[in-house]
Chains A and B, each alone.
Chain A
Amino acid sequence: MTTPLHLFLDVDGGGWHPAAWRWSRSTPDEVFSPGRLRGFAVTAQAQGLTGLTFEDSPLPDARNPVGHLDAVQRAAFLAGTTEAVGLLPVAATTYSEPFHVAAQIASLDHSSAGRAGWIATTSPAAVARSVDLPVAPDPAGELADVVHAVRSLWDSWEDDAVVRDVATGRYVDRDRLHHVDVDTGRWSVKGPLTVPRSPQGHAVVVVREEDLRHRADRSTADVVLSGDAGARRALGGPLVVLDVEVVLDTDAHAATDRLAALDATAPAPDRGRIRWAGSGQALAAWLTDLTGVVDGVRLHAAVLDEDLRTLLRTTVPALRAARVLRPPLPGATLRSTLGLERPANRYATGPALVTTGGDPR
């Protein structure tokens, strides 16, 4: 049995290329259309993708000049109408309230029956002005602290805290609810969370490699997004998902011609990701070679409306035929699809939670 390659697709705006929205000929209303978003999700799930990611920024960005809807809201919108695909929104840590982030992602995990991930990112200093906060001196340190606080809040309810004991009239066992008392000196959180522990215990925490304070920060990330195919050896602990920007041949145009035309409209910035141009079959062959090298690949389509068609007609069927993809099962959690343990609860007081071996972080 080959190691599966987990395939993720980002579905933000018109595509990764800053000229995408012109080429997709979508009006702003169409780019933001809920129906378009649902179409991506239904297709990705039917094709056996492991997850959809939702990039985000509260600030205008060149890649997506028409704007963004909030990523957590987009992911949640799809939670009730999908059954297998993972939903992984960005929620930034630098200027957020950790309590709100913990509640939002835990709620997504509840409503998706355990398919939530969280791409925890740092924010640029310009965001500080929009939320009226001082510029953070150490965003990577802030990220590690926020992830720690959020994971603590996710544990602040033990799994069996709701007892509904009619005899004593107790709805919850208060001894299984915990104040987390996190204090970083810059902010503090008391707890418990207002949301009970979610199906996965912790949503899958994803961090970009450049946002990690230390390359092998085991306690922060379950999955690291990297632009470097050699990152897995260096990182050791977390799963490594390679970030790849693709431009594919379409029926009418070769990938290299499309990229040149897109660049002529608006030059694409270097985001430290691998950029790959070619046919859908060649992409499938390259991805097949990556099994065992990385745990997964996240694809960013240059123009979603165009590249996704090639991807789904050519690349994904080839990967499935080669048994490189192992589609998530309906009802499976994102953790179980990725082979990750359900974390034990740091506050557990009662009978030990059942774990199935391995090395829970």
Chain B
Amino acid sequence: MTTPSSGDLRFPDAVVHFGVFFQGVNHSTIWSDPRSGSQMAHSTFVQLVRTAERGLFDAFFLGEGLRLREQRGRIHDLDVVGRPDALTELATLAGLTTHIGLVATQNTTYNDPADLARRLASLDVLSGGRAAWNVVTTDNAWTGENFRRGGHLDHADRYERAERFVRTAQRVWDSWDGERYTPVEVRDGFFDVEFTPTVPRSPQQHPVLFQAGDSPAGRDFATRTADVVFSRHGTDHADALAFADDIRRRTVAAGRPEGDVLVLPGTQIVVADNEAEVEEKARWVLEQQVTPATALSLVGQVWGEDLSHLDPDGPLPAHDPVISVVDGTRGAHRTGADAVALAQRWRAEAEEGKFSLRELVLHHSSERGFAGTASQLADDLTHWVRTGASDGFNITPYLVPSGLDDVVDQLVPALQDRGAYPTEYVGTTLREHLGLRAPLTRR
């Protein structure tokens, strides 16, 4: 537990912003527990979003994947898989909620700006100004096989396309002046479009823009165009602070005020009733997430072969991987890594720590967020936002749909006791909840 000195607190009045990230496809959702509900049932989404709204969360966030994950030509079968189309589900949730923001992850590679801007604007109007777009890109031909334009962009071009895509969308959103629409014509080498939009502007003018890229190009893209960065730096304070400082530096370099881009890392929060239970509960969560089969599968991704016949409590394979690079088209988070070097490093770590195969994977998976009593967590999260390590968190519940209950019932009141969390929604739009200024093109 960190005990901050007041000198560390660069933002002494900062409050914690919470979002819920319904990930959908991952091995962090414990589907094997008897308390685990359907990942697709409408009631699951309703229970989660209503819990989040009761807890005054800023946003409910849906991920997107446009092809089911595979390994070596076979569909990955161990994790939760299958989810609704993000914008369609969020439109339904807009009809059942009144305040919470609704964030749709949508890809710029396999959509058209005229069409996507229109659907996002429709959600924004239907929700009374609560829509947001998490802008993501994909460049692999494997996902592209589901779409008419395929996977034709290299890495550099996909951010260029993404930025031009967003600019085109902004022109669509700006085309209605309350009386008439201005025709949009874009001929920029990426897009060659010409049409007159038909959707009016919402109370927050534009959907809020989230961006999730972590590379230097992704960070620059975010600080030039986005309102919020959704990062992976949600576990280690020093790492998060370095990331947030980098975002602030790039924001200023992009000609914007320092605090113009919020940083909301994804994280997991395990709340325990007392200190004795904290470690036990965190360990239980971890072991449910990384089952023996999942451990074998994760190691098999690096070795490039099916290792499901191995003993998860035995050693790592003695031979080197049969691949040189971890496959770049299957959505694994180690995509593109040097497989042989990674395997050698893992074997050295396992030898030093006397880890079995599964213990090594558990060791690598153990740092995915926060665990503590509500009081400890409230201190810790308050410290994070007041030292500038983040502006809040996107929480991935490890159980669905009940996984937010303890956060809302225990952690939120503890944060409120510290003056570090709102006690009511101050506005009705997501832009207001996040304290954001007008859209970039409307200032």
- Hey, which bits of chain A sit against chain B, CB under 8 A? 28-29, 32, 34, 37-38, 57-60, 66-70, 72-74, 76-81, 96-97, 99-100, 103-104, 106-108, 110-113, 126-127, 129-132, 157, 162, 164, 166, 168-174, 177, 186-192, 194-196
**What is the chain A residue whose CB lies nearest that of B197?**
A67
The segment from B65-73, B226-234, B322-330 found at the interface with A is B65-73
| A73, A107, A166: the one within 8 Å of B84 (CB) | A107
**What is the chain A residue whose CB lies nearest that of B76?**
A174
The segment from B186-194, B377-385, B411-419, B433-441 found at the interface with A is B186-194
Cβ–Cβ < 8 Å partners of B91 in chain A: 72-74, 76-77
| A107, A132, A189: the one within 8 Å of B89 (CB) | A107
The segment from B209-217, B241-249, B287-295, B398-406 found at the interface with A is B287-295
Cβ–Cβ < 8 Å partners of A79 in chain B: 42, 92, 95
| A60, A69, A107: the one within 8 Å of B181 (CB) | A60
How many interface residues does chain B have, given as a range?
35 or more
**What is the chain B residue whose CB lies nearest that of A71?**
B122
Interface centre among A106, A170, A190 (most CB of B within 10 A): A190
Closest 4 CB pairs of A and B: A169-B293, A67-B198, A130-B195, A76-B91
- Chief secondary structure at chain B's binding surface: loop
Cβ–Cβ < 8 Å partners of A170 in chain B: 77-78, 293
Cβ–Cβ < 8 Å partners of B145 in chain A: 188-190
Cβ–Cβ < 8 Å partners of B80 in chain A: 171
Interface centre among A106, A171, A186 (most CB of B within 10 A): A171
Beyond the given A78-B95, A164-B32, please list 19 additional residue pairs across the A-B interface where CB-CB is below 8 A: A34-B94, A58-B114, A59-B195, A60-B181, A67-B197, A69-B199, A72-B88, A73-B119, A80-B93, A81-B96, A97-B110, A110-B84, A131-B114, A157-B82, A168-B293, A171-B79, A171-B81, A172-B81, A174-B74
Are B115 and A58 in contact (CB-based, < 8 A)? yes
Please provide the chain B residues from 161 to 213 with a CB less than 8 Å away from any CB of chain A in the complex.
Answer: 176, 178, 181, 191-200
State the Cβ distance, B297 to closest chain A Cβ, in Å.
9
Residue contacts A-B, CB under 8 angstroms, 7 given: A34-B125, A74-B122, A130-B195, A168-B293, A169-B291, A188-B148, A195-B84
Cβ–Cβ < 8 Å partners of A57 in chain B: 198
Are B181 and A169 in contact (CB-based, < 8 A)? no
Q: How far is the CA of A170 from the CA of B85 in the complex (A)?
A: 23
Are A187 and B75 in contact (CB-based, < 8 A)? no
**What is the chain B residue whose CB lies nearest that of A79?**
B92
Cβ–Cβ < 8 Å partners of B89 in chain A: 76, 107, 111
Are B31 and A164 in contact (CB-based, < 8 A)? yes
| A73, A126, A190: the one within 8 Å of B87 (CB) | A73
How many pairs of residues, A versus B, come closer than 8 Å at their CB atoms? 197
- Decide if B19 is an interface residue (CB 8 Å cutoff): no
- Decide if B126 is an interface residue (CB 8 Å cutoff): yes
Q: How far is the CA of A94 from the CA of B91 in the complex (A)?
A: 24
State the Cβ distance, B159 to closest chain A Cβ, in Å.
19
Cβ–Cβ < 8 Å partners of B366 in chain A: none
Are B95 and A194 in contact (CB-based, < 8 A)? no
| A96, A132, A174, A188: the one within 8 Å of B77 (CB) | A174
Are B111 and A100 in contact (CB-based, < 8 A)? yes
Are A67 and B92 in contact (CB-based, < 8 A)? no
| B78, B114, B181: the one within 8 Å of A130 (CB) | B114
State the Cβ distance, A334 to closest chain B Cβ, in Å.
16
**What is the chain B residue whose CB lies nearest that of A75?**
B91
Are A172 and B88 in contact (CB-based, < 8 A)? no
Q: How far is the CA of A192 from the CA of B67 in the complex (A)?
A: 7
Cβ–Cβ < 8 Å partners of B194 in chain A: 129-130
| A69, A78, A99, A177: the one within 8 Å of B125 (CB) | A69
Cβ–Cβ < 8 Å partners of A113 in chain B: 42
**What is the chain B residue whose CB lies nearest that of A29?**
B200
| A66, A81, A166, A174: the one within 8 Å of B95 (CB) | A81
- Decide if B334 is an interface residue (CB 8 Å cutoff): no
Given contacts A67-B199, A70-B122, A99-B147, contact A132 B40 (CB under 8 A): no
Please provide the chain B residues from 114 to 148 with a CB less than 8 Å away from any CB of chain A in the complex.
Answer: 114-115, 118-119, 121-123, 125-128, 145-148
Cβ–Cβ < 8 Å partners of A157 in chain B: 82
- Decide if B112 is an interface residue (CB 8 Å cutoff): yes
**What is the chain B residue whose CB lies nearest that of A28?**
B200
Q: How far is the CA of A60 from the CA of B121 in the complex (A)?
A: 16
Cβ–Cβ < 8 Å partners of A110 in chain B: 40-42, 84
Cβ–Cβ < 8 Å partners of A164 in chain B: 31-32
Q: How far is the CA of A219 from the CA of B178 in the complex (A)?
A: 45
Are A187 and B95 in contact (CB-based, < 8 A)? no
- Decide if B256 is an interface residue (CB 8 Å cutoff): no
Please provide the chain B residues from 272 to 327 with a CB less than 8 Å away from any CB of chain A in the complex.
Answer: 291-294
Given contacts A34-B126, A81-B96, contact A111 B88 (CB under 8 A): yes
Cβ–Cβ < 8 Å partners of A169 in chain B: 32, 78, 291-294
Q: How far is the CA of A343 from the CA of B294 in the complex (A)?
A: 35
- Decide if B237 is an interface residue (CB 8 Å cutoff): no
**What is the chain A residue whose CB lies nearest that of B131?**
A73
Are B112 and A77 in contact (CB-based, < 8 A)? no
Are A177 and B78 in contact (CB-based, < 8 A)? no
Interface centre among A34, A72, A77 (most CB of B within 10 A): A77
Q: How far is the CA of A209 from the CA of B92 in the complex (A)?
A: 30
Cβ–Cβ < 8 Å partners of B41 in chain A: 110
